[in-house]
């Protein structure tokens, strides 16, 4: 049976656009379905309700953290809120935190003391589980690919299966017998 998994990719956006693009590419190259905020279209639904529905439908959740905390929804960033929600509903979460010593563009680093503290706290939360540390977008690409492949083998989820794989004569005969 050839399963396809749906994987939610969460991070701040503007500062990690290239990194997100590579992670999405990795997921597509593995034959799975990436989901992220850049794929949402405008609609009537409240943003948080739409995000929750997308996470509900996902098999795995990937969070990428660098040097920005992100857009706030109240007192918490959307990225942290997404992470908390995925954990609360039992979606396996894979954390990828940038190494602190990495050289990074100053414009992609939070300067606000409150956001810096919130980011530190959020990274600590991510690190309470097994986490991978990355140095650049190519390193992240490889680590996400390897971590997801390991998850698929050690923690398989429902995923998506082409219906034709279940339309075998044996299954169709069993369905006919059940109708009688």
> What's the pLDDT tens digit per position in 62-75?
999 999 999 888 89
Specify the pLDDT at position 174. Answer: 74
The pLDDT confidence band at residue 1, using thresholds 50, 70 and 90, is low
Residue identified by tokens 């990937």 is 62
44: pLDDT strictly greater than 60: no
Read off the tokens for 35. 């989901």
Q: Where are the domains of the chain?
A: 3-179
Please tell me which residue, 107 or 46, carries the higher pLDDT value. 107
Q: Quote the CA–CA distance of 109 and 66 in Å, as a whole number.
A: 8
For 19, the token pair is 């990194």
Residues 6+ apart with CB under 8 A from 110: 67, 68, 69, 116, 119
Highest mean pLDDT among 41-50, 70-79, 158-167: 70-79
Q: What is the pLDDT of residue 178?
A: 76
Question: Is residue 34 over pLDDT 90?
Answer: yes
**What does the pLDDT average to over 117-140?**
97
Residue range 3-179, CATH number? 3.40.50.360
| The predicted structure's pLDDT at residue 42 | 55
The predicted structure's pLDDT at residue 177:
79
pTM given for the model = 0.87
User: Rounded mean pLDDT of the chain?
Assistant: 91
pLDDT digit string, tens, across residues 78-109: 999 999 999 999 999 999 999 999 999 999 99
Looking at residue 30, its pLDDT comes to: 97
Residue among 102, 159, 82, 97 at smallest CA distance from 130: 97
- pLDDT over 60 (residue 43): no
b/e map 82-114, b = 16+ CB within 10 Å: bbebbbeeebbbbbbbbeeeeeeeeeeebeeee
DSSP state of 74: T
Residue 164 has what pLDDT? 66
Burial of 39 (C-beta count, 10 Å sphere; 0-12/13-18/19+): exposed
- Residues 139 and 98: their CA atoms lie apart, in Å, by 10
DSSP H stretches of helix in 11-136: 17-29, 47-56, 78-88, 113-126
Please report the DSSP string for 114-150 in residue order. HHHHHHHHHHHHHTTS-EEEESSHHHHHHHHHHHHHH
Taking CA atoms, 146 is separated from 27, 70, 122, 179, in Å, by 11, 26, 24, 45
- Examine the pLDDT at 127 and tell me if it is beyond 90: yes
């Amino acid at each position: 049976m050839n399963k396809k998994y749906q994987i939610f990719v969460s991070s701040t956006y503007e500062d990690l656009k290239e990194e997100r693009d590579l992670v999405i590419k990795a997921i597509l190259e593995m034959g799975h379905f990436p989901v992220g905020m850049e794929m949402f279209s405008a609609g009537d639904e409240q943003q948080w309700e739409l995000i929750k529905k997308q996470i509900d439908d996902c098999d795995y959740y990937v969070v990428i953290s660098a040097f920005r905390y992100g857009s706030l929804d109240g007192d918490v960033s959307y990225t942290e809120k997404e992470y908390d929600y995925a954990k609360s509903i039992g979606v396996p979460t894979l954390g990828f935190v940038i190494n602190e010593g990495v050289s990074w563009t100053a414009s992609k680093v939070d300067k606000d003391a409150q956001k810096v503290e919130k980011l530190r706290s959020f990274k600590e939360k991510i690190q309470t589980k097994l986490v991978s540390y990355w140095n650049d977008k190519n390193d992240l690409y490889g680590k996400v690919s390897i971590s997801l492949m390991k998850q698929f083998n050690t923690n398989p989820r429902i995923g998506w299966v082409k219906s034709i794989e279940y339309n075998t004569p044996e299954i169709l005969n069993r369905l006919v017998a059940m109708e009688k």
